Amino acid sequence: MLRLPRTVYDAEHLAFGEAMRRFIAAELAPHMQRWEEEGMVPKAIWRRFGDLGALGAGIPEQYGGAGDDFRTLAVAVEAHARAGMAAPAFELHTGIVAPYVVHHGTEAQKRHWLPRLASGDAVASIGMTEPDSGSDLAAVRTRAVRDGDAYVVDGSKVFITNGIVGDLVVLVVKTAPERKAKGVSLLLVDTSLPGYRKARNLKKVGNKAQDTAELFFDGMRVPADCLLGEENGGWKVLMSELVQERILVAVRAAACCEAALEMTARWVKERRAFGGRVFDFQNTRFRLADVATETQALRVFTDRCIELHARGALDMHTAAMAKLYSTEVQDRVLDACMQLHGGTGYMWDYPIGRMWADARVHRIYAGTNEIMREIISRSL
Ligand SMILES: Cc1cc2nc3c(=O)[nH]c(=O)nc-3n(C[C@H](O)[C@H](O)[C@H](O)COP(=O)(O)OP(=O)(O)OC[C@H]3O[C@@H](n4cnc5c(N)ncnc54)[C@H](O)[C@@H]3O)c2cc1C
């Protein structure tokens, strides 16, 4: 439906995207409503994502992955978004958490975790946010105190995606609280450790089949060799991984806008009112013309960012722009598309209503859009 041809993917990416599309239609879509009611996706589905190669994108082949091509992950995320699926949160697992281990892990850490992450035998999460610190990440209070061959961890996290199904959490802790950001460390924590407690699976407005948990740590002894990177060096690592997190949000948002445009154009050509098609009202055509134009502009910007990121050349300010712009376009597009569906659009059974609800969090997580504006303004 968009007019400008895409050049970011080659034939192999497109074939992988098509395989993902078929898998999602056959094995995800028919069960999503039940999983939304259950608040999570079964582990077996994670393994199916692993079998297909969607979890190994970015993980080197020697550790069971598919090698380092961001576009493999991007094309999979697009297929997932176009189908209106918000779960499982595989891009967090593959595109956000696995790179911490790939880029900063020791050989032993890589050997232990990466093959299991690539196959889906282990599910990954990241624990940054706490009840009293979200945007202000340096204010985290979860404390890790070195005691012999272990860190003793006490504290809690909230809103952690894959927090219930997760086997691994990259945990943000304070090892030197008086040093603020310079006292932050990262631990690779096996969620089966004594003292690790998965609490509530939180009820959300959207993304209902993604589990989002509260976690508590009570005298949890984490072996010292689970430290990721250097002690008190966690902040730099966190900052270096945020570019990919933000471009992934844009990849999903752009694909979601395209799907919404297509389904709405179809809907208004079938739906009738006042003796004609809803499409024939000038208001409908003008709204859709705006949606198509914004979606096209977003596609061009996002593809350029994908292309740059695939060769390691996307900077943090442009990634913040991509996250900001894509999620604000997405909100406008989905709102217009839902309006054109009338009451039907508000029904949970219809993909447009779900997409609208699922998308709203994109302006909040991966750094809120207000924080994106702060980052962008620092480059001006
Ligand atoms: C569904 C979901 C999944 C999530 N998954 C994860 C996860 O897997 N791991 C994880 O660690 N976290 C996760 N989060 C947490 C998410 O990253 C935070 O909610 C987000 O960073 C915002 O933090 P906060 O909720 O504490 O809001 P606050 O930081 O309290 O912000 C409240 C408001 O103040 C604004 N604000 C704050 N600081 C500034 C400023 N300097 N200038 C202007 N405005 C400002 C914010 O933009 C926001 O509008 C998830 C959240 C949700 C909802």
| pTM (global) more than 0.85 | yes
pLDDT above 70 covers a percentage of the chain that reads 100
Query: Could you tell me the CA-to-CA distances from 176 to 60, 180, 182, 220 in Å, in that order?
Result: 33, 7, 8, 18
The catalytic residue positions are 245
Compute the mean pLDDT over every residue in the chain, rounded to the nearest whole number.
97
Q: Is the CB of 232 under 6 A from ligand 1?
A: no
Tens-place pLDDT, residues 319-347? 999 999 999 999 999 999 999 999 999 99
Tens-place pLDDT, residues 82-111? 999 999 999 999 999 999 999 999 999 999
Q: What is the pLDDT of residue 333?
A: 98
Tens-place pLDDT, residues 273-288? 999 999 999 999 999 9
Q: Is the CB of 324 under 6 A from ligand 1?
A: no
* Beta-sheet pairing, 212-223 with 196-201: antiparallel
Contact assessment for residue 4 and residue 265, using Cβ atoms and an 8 Å cutoff: no
Q: What is the pLDDT of residue 320?
A: 98
Mean pLDDT of 287-314: 98
Q: Given a cut of 90, is residue 3 above it in pLDDT?
A: no
Pocket test for ligand 1, best of 36, 129, 158, 172 (most atoms within 8 A of CB): 129
Tens-place pLDDT, residues 144-183? 999 999 999 999 999 999 999 999 999 999 999 999 999 9
Tens-place pLDDT, residues 122-152? 999 999 999 999 999 999 999 999 999 999 9
Of 350, 349, 341, give the one whose Cα is nearest residue 273. 341
Q: Is the CB of 164 under 6 A from ligand 1?
A: no
**How far apart, in whole angstroms, are the C-alpha atoms of residue 263 and residue 125?**
33
Of 136, 159, 27, 162, give the one whose Cα is nearest residue 83. 27
What structural domains does the chain harbor? Answer: 11-122 (1.10.540.10), 125-232 (2.40.110.10), 236-377 (1.20.140.10)
Please identify, by atom number, the ligand 1 atom nearest to the C-alpha of residue 128: 11
**How far apart, in whole angstroms, are the C-alpha atoms of residue 10 and residue 283?**
38
Q: What is the pLDDT of residue 1?
A: 80
Tens-place pLDDT, residues 347-367? 998 999 999 999 999 999 999
Q: Given a cut of 90, is residue 20 above it in pLDDT?
A: yes
Please identify, by atom number, the ligand 1 atom nearest to the C-alpha of residue 162: 8
Mean pLDDT of 22-27: 98
